[in-house]
Amino acid sequence: MCDETTSEQPNSATHQPVEKGNTQPKAATVLIVDDNIAEAAACRDILSHAGHEVILTKDGTQGLKELLANPQGIDLIILDWILPGMSGDQWLGHFLEVAPDVKLIFISGKFIPDELRNQLQTKVSSFLKKPFSGGQLLDAVQKALPGDNS
């Protein structure tokens, strides 16, 4: 579950000049596929507040339809491990057929075996164990997106 609490920056930080070479993470279009709509909505709110466009879907079929409608327009998929009908690793195969270069973050409240995690490591940018904080979500998204993530 996404925890909407985030640490606030001191007001003085907003008045400091931006140094050359300091870049904000690229705004992305993020597809969230999670059957727990309350948790997914909290993640959507956090990502939207950070400047990302978010598409929220409640199952793999709906998520796949969104990806098929615009395979080049989705930058990142946040996929729940347990979904109705198929597991997240099964849905992963379908998503990668449509958009093999799309970045993906798995989220789950369940244990993901190390063997399977290792097999998926080359296809998945990150794994987040529920409950996770807004800061953890934003860190995982920033690391998954192309660009300067230093």
CATH of residue 95's domain is 3.40.50.2300
93 found inside a domain? yes
Q: Read out DSSP for 52-63? A: -EEEEESSHHHH
DSSP 8-state code for residue 8 = P
- What is the count of structural domains for the chain? 1
4 found inside a domain? no
Decide the pairing of beta strands 76-80 and 103-108. parallel
5 found inside a domain? no
Distances (CA, A) of 4 to 39, 42, 64, 132: 10, 6, 27, 9
In this prediction, residue 2 has a pLDDT band, given cuts at 50, 70 and 90, of low
In this prediction, residue 147 has a pLDDT band, given cuts at 50, 70 and 90, of low
User: For residue 30, what are the β-bridge partners?
Assistant: 54, 76
What pLDDT score was predicted for residue 1?
A: 57
What pLDDT score was predicted for residue 25?
A: 54
In this prediction, residue 6 has a pLDDT band, given cuts at 50, 70 and 90, of very low
3 found inside a domain? no
Rounded (5°) CA angle 74-69-46:
35
pTM of the predicted protein model: 0.79
106 found inside a domain? yes
126 found inside a domain? yes
What pLDDT score was predicted for residue 49?
A: 97
What pLDDT score was predicted for residue 68?
A: 93
Mean pLDDT to the nearest integer, 89-105:
88
User: For residue 104, what are the β-bridge partners?
Assistant: 77
pLDDT tens digits for range 18-69:
333 444 556 899 999 999 999 999 999 999 999 999 999 999 999 999 999 9
CA distance 121 to 34: 20
Which has the higher per-residue pLDDT, 53 or 83?
53
What pLDDT score was predicted for residue 111?
A: 73
Compute the CA torsion angle 119, 123, 128, 134 (nearest 10 deg). Answer: 170
Which has the higher per-residue pLDDT, 6 or 70?
70
Q: 42 lies in which domain range? A: 26-144
pLDDT tens digits for range 104-136:
999 988 877 677 777 677 788 899 999 999 999
The answer to whether the bond into 100 is cis (omega within 30° of 0) is no
95 found inside a domain? yes
Neighbours of 70 (CB within 10 A): 12
69 found inside a domain? yes
